[in-house]
């Protein structure tokens, strides 16, 4: 049963009781009490003794109908497993779902909401509160707590490295699913990520909530790792637009600085993706989206970044850096007389890059190469002799390559340099300057791969793309200090 259905049933039941009272219809007999299991691996036994046969193994958060008591055992019925039996009284808590008990249930939810490992139990108490509280008394607090616990359970399941905990976590996931809490799984780069679907957080945004509650909801609903990788480009674009709208609905004025930073970093990543997607659609709004991404990144207070947030900041900067050319004006004519032209083909999404000059027009280019990536013609840079052209090409919203056109004995050729050889999940490499009188190229690289972040400035061999020298600061390389491109230094986010 979905959480939405549970709330609807609560509200519907309240209305039904009111109508029954008006019509003088006798109220139904009181339901049997409910017991919540509070200990993992609790035995449901066939009789009221520890030596009796075990019917099932119960986990914290499991709800049982109490039908009687014998000695130190409660006689119960498990509707989820459709089994009756006995459990020790000390291993469960009998709850009242009368309206008078609602404040006590909410107090337990408040206690459990930030207790790691008790998410299933906390969600069980939240469900009990929703059943007990009058409809008009249900506010955003319980949904904020429910969503926080469900989100933390998904993160705990994703990051679990102890195989001994697998059975416990799997059981807790089954328990919360019985309350209508949906946790989905996605595969990203060979790793499974479990994510709460966010229904409770959507209610937080719809109800009267505090700024911190709205910020938590917005951050939980827009997690980058919880995007379905199977979304079509059109669905992904619509989803990113929705994510941007959710983040805009989170007021920032009264928030702690670290929370503001998290909203800014998330917004920067979302707007950089939107800039890329709008560019693919030839939407003029790409310029605005890219500038919003740059503004959000620039607004991050680096003095208020925790260790975990510093990792997120680097990823946000890398994503913004990958799409930053959308914020730059158009430019195709190069000082050497060369021109880079990008023309769409009949194949949807395909673009052909043509290198032309005064003697070779688009019908007979010096060189043509086609790609399904976004071609940033305004990124084209040439050396002083007009024998090499560096160009940025972006296949994905989080991945930008460096293409180098150069002339040799057999005419013009092109080589492609990706951000990483091991197909990292996020990164870019960009041209930073030519070294006059040599076959050397300056480049800046930022890559996140296998959870590790690499940020370097490099001197490359333009013929082989071999890294001749590299450093984590550009002023540590004498060639970088002397020959870095002024426009690159002005525009790049790698010097943040």
Per-residue model confidence as pLDDT tens digits over 327-337: 998 876 677 78
Q: What is the mean pLDDT of residues 295-303?
A: 95
| DSSP letter assigned to residue 333 | B
Q: Does residue 463 register a pLDDT over 60?
A: yes
Residues 36-60: b if buried by 16+ CB within 10 A, e if exposed: bbbebebbbbeebeeeeeebbebbb
Q: What pLDDT sits at residue 4?
A: 46
- Mean pLDDT over all residues of the chain? 90
Distance, C-alpha 77 to centroid of its chain: 40
Confidence of residue 17 (pLDDT cuts 50, 70, 90): very low
Under the phi-then-psi rule, with left for phi > 0, alpha for psi from -120 to 50, and beta for the rest, what region is 451? left
Q: Does residue 469 register a pLDDT over 90?
A: yes
Which of residues 162 and 455 earns the better pLDDT score? 455
Q: What is the mean pLDDT of residues 404-429?
A: 88
- Where do the structural domains in the chain lie, given as residue ranges? 231-327, 334-491
Q: What is the mean pLDDT of residues 150-156?
A: 95
Q: What pLDDT sits at residue 384?
A: 85
Q: Does residue 253 register a pLDDT over 50?
A: yes
Q: Does residue 13 register a pLDDT over 60?
A: no
Give me Rg for the CA atoms of the chain: 30
Confidence of residue 28 (pLDDT cuts 50, 70, 90): low
pTM of the model: 0.86
Percentage above 70 pLDDT, the chain: 93
> Are 446 and 321 contacting, i.e. CB atoms less than 8 angstroms apart?
yes
Which residue is listed with tokens 């609905």? 249
Q: Does residue 49 register a pLDDT over 60?
A: yes
Helices 140-159 and 166-178 pack at an angle, to 10 degrees, of: 150
DSSP states along 256-299: -HHHHHHHHHHHHHHHHHHHHHHHHTT-TTHHHHHHHHHHHHHT
Q: Does residue 186 register a pLDDT over 60?
A: yes
Which residue is listed with tokens 């080589």? 415
The rounded distance, in Å, linking the Cα atoms of 382 and 373 is 21
> Are 30 and 37 contacting, i.e. CB atoms less than 8 angstroms apart?
no
Phi/psi of residue 406, nearest 5 degrees: -150, 155
Q: What pLDDT sits at residue 20?
A: 46
The rounded distance, in Å, linking the Cα atoms of 486 and 439 is 20
Q: What pLDDT sits at residue 8?
A: 47
CA distances, 35 to each of 54, 64, 107, 122 (Å):
19, 5, 17, 14
How many secondary structure helices (H) and strands (E) does the chain include?
13, 20
> Are 183 and 196 contacting, i.e. CB atoms less than 8 angstroms apart?
yes
Phi/psi of residue 473, nearest 5 degrees: -135, 140
Among 140-144, 241-245, 361-365, the minimum mean pLDDT is found in 361-365
Contacts of 493 (CB under 8 A, 6+ apart): 294, 297, 317, 320, 321, 324
Q: What pLDDT sits at residue 380?
A: 93
Confidence of residue 19 (pLDDT cuts 50, 70, 90): low
Q: What is the mean pLDDT of residues 303-311?
A: 91
Confidence of residue 358 (pLDDT cuts 50, 70, 90): confident
Contacts of 111 (CB under 8 A, 6+ apart): none
Confidence of residue 64 (pLDDT cuts 50, 70, 90): very high
Q: What is the mean pLDDT of residues 92-98?
A: 92
Confidence of residue 270 (pLDDT cuts 50, 70, 90): very high
Q: What is the mean pLDDT of residues 90-114?
A: 94
Q: What pLDDT sits at residue 25?
A: 57
Q: What pLDDT sits at residue 277?
A: 95
Neighbours of 95 (CB within 10 A): 22
Going through 307-424 in order, the beta strands assigned E by DSSP cover 339-344, 351-356, 367-371, 374-382, 388-396, 399-408, 411-417
Q: What pLDDT sits at residue 21?
A: 52
Q: What pLDDT sits at residue 447?
A: 93
Confidence of residue 11 (pLDDT cuts 50, 70, 90): very low
Phi/psi of residue 382, nearest 5 degrees: -125, 155
Q: What pLDDT sits at residue 481?
A: 85
Q: What pLDDT sits at residue 9?
A: 44
Distance, C-alpha 452 to centroid of its chain: 17
Percentage above 90 pLDDT, the chain: 74
Q: Note the maximum CA span of the chain.
A: 99
> Are 320 and 272 contacting, i.e. CB atoms less than 8 angstroms apart?
yes
């Amino acid at each position: 049963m979905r959480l939405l259905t549970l709330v609807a049933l609560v509200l519907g039941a309240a209305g039904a009781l009111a109508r029954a009272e008006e019509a003088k219809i006798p109220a139904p007999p009181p339901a049997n009490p409910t017991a919540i299991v509070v200990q993992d691996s609790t035995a449901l036994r066939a009789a009221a003794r520890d030596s009796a046969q075990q019917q099932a193994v119960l986990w914290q958060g499991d709800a049982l109908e109490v039908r009687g008591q014998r000695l130190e055992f409660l006689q119960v019925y498990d509707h989820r497993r459709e089994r009756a039996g006995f459990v020790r009284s000390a291993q469960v808590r009998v709850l009242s779902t009368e309206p008078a008990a609602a404040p006590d249930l909410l107090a337990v939810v408040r206690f459990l909401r930030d207790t790691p490992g008790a998410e299933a139990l906390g969600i069980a108490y939240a469900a009990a509160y929703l059943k007990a509280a009058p409809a008009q008394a249900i506010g955003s607090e319980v949904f904020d707590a429910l969503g926080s616990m469900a989100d933390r359970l998904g993160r705990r399941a994703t990051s679990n490295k102890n195989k001994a905990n697998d059975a416990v976590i799997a059981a807790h996931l089954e328990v919360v699913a019985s309350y209508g809490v949906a946790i989905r799984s996605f595969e990203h780069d060979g790793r499974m990520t479990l994510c709460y679907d966010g229904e409770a957080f959507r209610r937080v945004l719809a109800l009267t909530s505090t700024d911190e509650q709205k910020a938590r909801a917005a951050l939980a609903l827009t997690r980058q790792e919880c995007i379905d990788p199977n979304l079509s480009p059109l669905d992904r674009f619509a989803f990113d637009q929705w994510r941007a709208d959710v983040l805009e609905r989170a007021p920032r004025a009264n928030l702690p600085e670290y929370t503001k930073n998290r909203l800014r970093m998330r917004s920067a990543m979302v707007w950089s993706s939107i800039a890329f997607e709008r560019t693919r659609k030839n939407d003029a709004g790409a310029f605005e989206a890219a500038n919003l991404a740059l503004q959000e990144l620039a607004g991050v207070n680096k003095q208020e970044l925790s260790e975990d947030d510093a990792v997120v900041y680097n990823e946000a900067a890398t994503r913004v850096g990958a799409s930053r050319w959308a914020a730059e004006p158009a430019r195709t004519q190069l000082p050497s007389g060369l021109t880079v032209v990008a023309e769409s083909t009949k194949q949807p999404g395909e673009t052909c890059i043509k290198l032309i000059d005064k003697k070779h027009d688009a019908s007979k280019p010096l060189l043509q190469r086609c790609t399904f990536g976004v071609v940033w013609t305004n990124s084209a840079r040439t050396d002083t002799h007009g024998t090499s052209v560096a160009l940025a090409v972006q296949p994905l919203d989080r991945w930008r390559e460096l293409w180098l056109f150069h002339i040799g004995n057999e005419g013009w050729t092109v080589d492609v340099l990706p951000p990483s050889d091991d197909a990292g999940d996020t990164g870019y490499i960009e041209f930073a300057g030519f070294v006059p009188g040599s076959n050397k190229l300056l480049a800046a690289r930022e890559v996140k791969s296998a959870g590790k972040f690499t940020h370097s400035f490099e001197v490359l061999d333009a013929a082989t793309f071999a890294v001749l020298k590299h450093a984590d600061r550009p002023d540590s390389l004498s060639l970088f200090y002397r020959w870095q491109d002024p426009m690159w230094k002005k525009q790049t986010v790698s010097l943040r």
